[in-house]
Structure 1
Amino acid sequence: MKANIGINEVNTSEVAHELSKLLADEFVLYTKARNAHWNVEGPDFINKHLFFETQYNELQDIVDDVAERIRQLGHYAPATLGAYLELTELTEIFRQRNDGEGFIKEMLEDHDHIIIKLRKHIDVFANEYYDEGTSDFITGLMRTHEKMAWFLRAHLK
């Protein structure tokens, strides 16, 4: 049964497509946080190992929330690695060294990219697609990413 939430099908389709791209970005960043957690090395190993665990746990919740928002709009969320790699704007970087600072810088760039992307879509979702719910949803996501980016940035001081 289609969602009858006061937004026409064309608009929910456009929003769901943009959210699918966001979902892919979130999943790629989640995977990078897992990679950092598993593979970080150096004198600050335990600190960074635990820190990256907090990052991937937060991102795991975000991935689930974005996929569920797509479903609330009456569309199916992409759920394959192939789909994520086609949809994402992030890159998979293969590191030479697995130090905490390198992982942090890489993840910070991705958080910043997502923050900028979310900020650009807040008004678009509300004003062009008449979807204030998704606009509010991504505003909350933006704040979460800003906090996560702040934590990463603080490690680089």
Structure 2
Amino acid sequence: MQVNIGIKQAHLAAVSHSLGKILADEFILYTKTRKAHWCVTGPDFHNKHLFFENQYQQLEEIIDDMAERIRTLGHFPPATLKEFLSLTHLTEMSREKNDGIGFIKDLLHDHESILIHLRENINDYATAFHDAGSSDYITGLMETHEKMAWMLRAHLE
């Protein structure tokens, strides 16, 4: 059944496709954060193990909410690893060592990259596509990533 919420079908499709790319980024970041949780080494292992667990749990919620937002707009989210890898602008490869600081630097870079991408879309969703709801949604998402990035950055100061 077609969604009739006061937004043109073409705009719903465009926003859903854009949100699908963000979902792909979130899934890649989630996977990398899980890797950090599983593979971190060093004298601060326990601390970082718990820290990364908290972060991947937040990302897991974001992923579910994002997929549901896309469904709310009447479209299906990407949901396979192949789709995520084809849509993401992140790399699944780590650039640093398997210690707490290495993972933190790598994950911080990805959060900041997502933040830039979110900021680039906020106004377009509201003005070009007349979807204030999705604009508001990614504004809240941006604030969540800002806090997560701050938590990562604080380990480096």
TM range (shorter): over 0.9
- What corresponds to 2:123 in structure 1? 123
Residue 63 of structure 2 corresponds to 63
- Could you list the structure 1 runs, at least 4 aligned residues long, displaced by more than 2 angstroms after superposition: 94-97
Q: TM-score, normalized by length of structure 1? A: 0.98
Q: How does 1:67-146 map to 2 (within 5 A)?
A: 67-94=67-94, 97-146=97-146
Aligned mates of 1:20, 1:97 — CA distance in 2: 30
Aligned positions, number? 157
- Does 2:22 match 1:22? yes
Question: Secondary structure at the residue paired with 1:144?
Answer: helix
Residues 21-30 or 85-94, more deviating: 85-94
Deviations 1:115-155 (A, max 9, x none): 11111111000000000000000000000000000000000
State the alpha-carbon separation in 1 of the partners of residues 26 and 154 from structure 2.
21
Consecutive unaligned residues in structure 2, runs of 5 or more = none
Q: What is the TM-score normalised by the length of structure 2? A: 0.98
CA contact (8 A) 2:29 2:107 kept: yes
Q: In structure 2, how many angstroms separate the alpha carbons of the residues matched to 1:93 and 1:103?
A: 11
- Conserved? CA contact 2:30–2:59, under 8 Å: yes
Following superposition, the deviation at residue 92 of structure 1 comes to: 1.3
Give the match for residue 149 of structure 1: 149
Percent of paired sites with the same residue: 61
1-side partners of 2:95 and 2:138: how far apart?
Answer: 31
Structure 1 segments unaligned to the other structure (5+ residues): none
Q: SS of 1:102's equivalent?
A: helix
CA contact (8 A) 2:20 2:77 kept: yes
- Check 1:13–1:100 CA distance in 2 against 1; reply closer, same or farther (3 A cut): same
Supply the distance in 1 between the matched residues of 2:33 and 2:97 (Cα, whole angstroms).
15
SS state at 1:43 partner? coil
Q: Deviation per CA, 1:41-87: give whole Å up to 9, x if none.
A: 00000000000000000000000011000000000011000000000
Distance of 1:77 and 1:94 partners within structure 2: 26
- Deviations along 1:1-59, one digit per CA (max 9) or x if unpaired, are 11111001100000000000000000000000000000000000000000000000000
Which amino acid counterpart does residue 27 of structure 2 have in structure 1? Answer: F
